[in-house]
Amino acid sequence: MRLDKLLWKNGLASKKKIKQALQTNLVTIDGQPAKYLGQNVDPALQRVFMNGKQIHDNSQVYFMLNKPKGSVTAVSDDTHPTVLDLLKPEDQREGIYHIGRLDANTEGLLLLTNNGPLGLRMLHPDQHVEKTYLAEVNASLDWRAVVRFDQGIRFHDGTRCRPAQLQILETRIGYSLVKVTISEGKFHQVKKMFLAVGAKVTSLKRLTFGPFKLDENLQTGQYRPLTPSELESLKQFLD
């Protein structure tokens, strides 16, 4: 959450007092003076002190979900079940949402949180967060597709993708099983990339998102809180 909101929740009731606390270095984050009022912080991930007293707050939640096919990445939908519908009542929090999107027919790793600024930062194009997918396509792919992906696929409208890594795991007539890693998130990008090399995606599953890997113990539709080591990985996306 924003630093000024956190300080307001913990006794600094006016904007003037909050500014004074920052200007006099009375607020520290992991031992360093706070930077600015809009700084994104989370006392569950960082050591936040005000006037020498540590601030504790557990209002922010972080979940890893193994998204099933058929659910949509939306806060609400009139016709389809959403990924938030999979949460237990006790885990429903105000402002919780999905970081990034997966198509309705795509399954796999999806992060959920109510830390809005952190989610926006993770999705910012400057971050170039890598995402790896396991895909089945209806064509026999070979080294030529690997080279095309490595050079950066160009779509029919002239849009060029950043270089991507394509690994062919299995191939036969009319079928290939592959892994593909991209570092951007254009609309339907993975499916369009394969169409550019003459293949249609028939199954798609996200395995990784930045430093996070899909927990193999999570059944489709299940979720869990992030582990301490996974929470530590989030720090790089905080301001």
| Rounded Cα–Cα distance for residues 70 and 163 (Å) | 30
Question: Which residues are designated catalytic?
Answer: 103
Per-residue pLDDT of the chain (239 residues; tens, 9 = 90+): 888 888 888 876 677 878 888 888 889 999 999 888 888 889 989 999 988 889 988 889 999 999 999 999 988 888 889 999 999 999 988 889 999 899 999 999 999 999 888 888 888 878 889 999 999 999 999 999 999 999 999 998 888 999 999 999 999 999 999 999 999 988 889 999 999 999 999 999 999 999 999 999 999 999 999 999 999 998 888 76
The amino acid at residue 201 is V
Model pLDDT, residue 158: 87
CATH dotted code for 62-126+214-237? 3.30.70.580
Query: Tell me, which fold does domain 3-55 have in CATH?
Result: 3.10.290
**Helix, strand or coil, per DSSP, at residue 148:** helix
| Rounded Cα–Cα distance for residues 40 and 4 (Å) | 9
Model pLDDT, residue 13: 62
Instruction: State the span(s) of the chain assigned CATH 3.30.70.580.
Output: 62-126+214-237
Instruction: State the span(s) of the chain assigned CATH 3.30.70.1560.
Output: 130-209
pLDDT tens digits for 96-122?
A: 999 989 999 999 999 999 988 888 888
Q: Which of 91, 101, 114 is nearest to 71 (CA)?
A: 101
Instruction: State the span(s) of the chain assigned CATH 3.10.290.10.
Output: 3-55
Contact 108, 207 (CB under 8 A): yes
How many C-beta atoms lie closer than 10 Å to residue 42's C-beta?
23
How many C-beta atoms lie closer than 10 Å to residue 163's C-beta?
13
CATH dotted code for 130-209? 3.30.70.1560
